[in-house]
Amino acid sequence: MANKAGANSVLKILEMKKRGEKIAVVTAYDYPTARMADAAGLDMLLVGDSLATVVQGRPTTLGATLDQMIYHAEAVARAAERALVVVDVPFPYCQLGPDEAVRACARILKETEATAVKIEGGASRAETVRAVVAAGIPVVGHCGLVPQSVKALGGYKVQRDWDQLLEDTTAIQEAGAFAVVLECVEREHAAELSKRLTIPTIGIGAGVGCDGQVLVFHDLFNFSEKDPSETPKHARVYRDLGGLIGEGFREYVADVKAERFPGDAESFGAKK
Ligand code: KIV
């Protein structure tokens, strides 16, 4: 599917790095959020497999299925007029090797209007990235902390080894990825990688030296029942929607109980 007129293309994202314009990215999982993010000027929307945790309430991202990713991506991509839509390839398609990965990525692009996929992993995933790119599917890499490997690594492991980070990101770039997410990478390392790589780096918990930043929608707006102070350290709460929604719910319950809702205005047949 061709990009919508005026939509960001892979080329436009690469040009942003060349002219030093920072790339703003947020996760999105549904139509109205994607509309608002697109209209507000986000450059890329990521349909992250974080939907397993923030939308479905699971403990890890491993439970997101390909059908679910496609369902959410379809709604997000329909909403996006301008932002480039990227979809996470859920566990375990890329872990199963290039053929399975290409099949899954082809489904994502065929069944949604998304432009690109995101593949977690470094040098060991380069062959898979190369195969997907060769199939004509634009790829964003994802290095540093890789949540899909939580069980293999025995937890969420920050990658502090500079040589490994350089090897991983370089391999992904050489395999044809057009951008790479750096998750929870020390800021000095992320800044140096951003200088050395020709493709844009999109940081999450990786400091201001990256070429762009990505945040999970639910962290950006505290869209949860938690106190904003419990938001991950790398995120900033721009508006406390969780607080506002809780307040609204409590007011609605009180109004129903006290017969303040519905009033005349909300009732059929009421005199004007
Ligand atoms: O799934 C996701 O939301 C992500 C971001 C954390 C980059 O991969």
218-227 confidence digits (pLDDT tens) = 999 999 999 9
Are 94 and 32 within one domain?
yes
pLDDT band at 157 (very low <50, low <70, confident <90, very high): confident
Query: What span, in angstroms and rounded, lies between the C-alpha atoms of 11 and 151?
Result: 36
Nearest residue (by CA) to ligand 1, atom 8, is 48
Are 227 and 265 within one domain?
no
Nearest residue (by CA) to ligand 1, atom 5, is 48
pLDDT band at 2 (very low <50, low <70, confident <90, very high): low
Catalytic option among 183, 225, 259, 266: 183
Domain CATH number, residue 20: 3.20.20.60
Q: Does the annotation count 183 as an active-site position?
A: yes
Are 128 and 216 within one domain?
yes
Could you tell me if residue 261 is inside a domain?
Answer: yes
**Segments forming the whole domain that contains residue 70:** 10-239
Are 50 and 165 within one domain?
yes
Are 204 and 259 within one domain?
no
Q: What is residue 159's predicted lDDT score, i.e. its pLDDT?
A: 87
120 Cβ contact partners less than 8 Å away, ≥ 6 residues apart:
88, 89, 94, 142, 146, 147, 148, 149
Task: For residue 220, give the H/E element and its range.
Answer: helix 217-220
**pTM, two decimal places:** 0.96
Could you tell me if residue 268 is inside a domain?
Answer: yes
Could you tell me if residue 163 is inside a domain?
Answer: yes
For residue 193, the cross-strand partners are: none
Write down the mean pLDDT value for the chain.
Answer: 96
pLDDT higher than threshold 80 for residue 96: yes
pLDDT higher than threshold 90 for residue 196: yes
Are 244 and 189 within one domain?
no
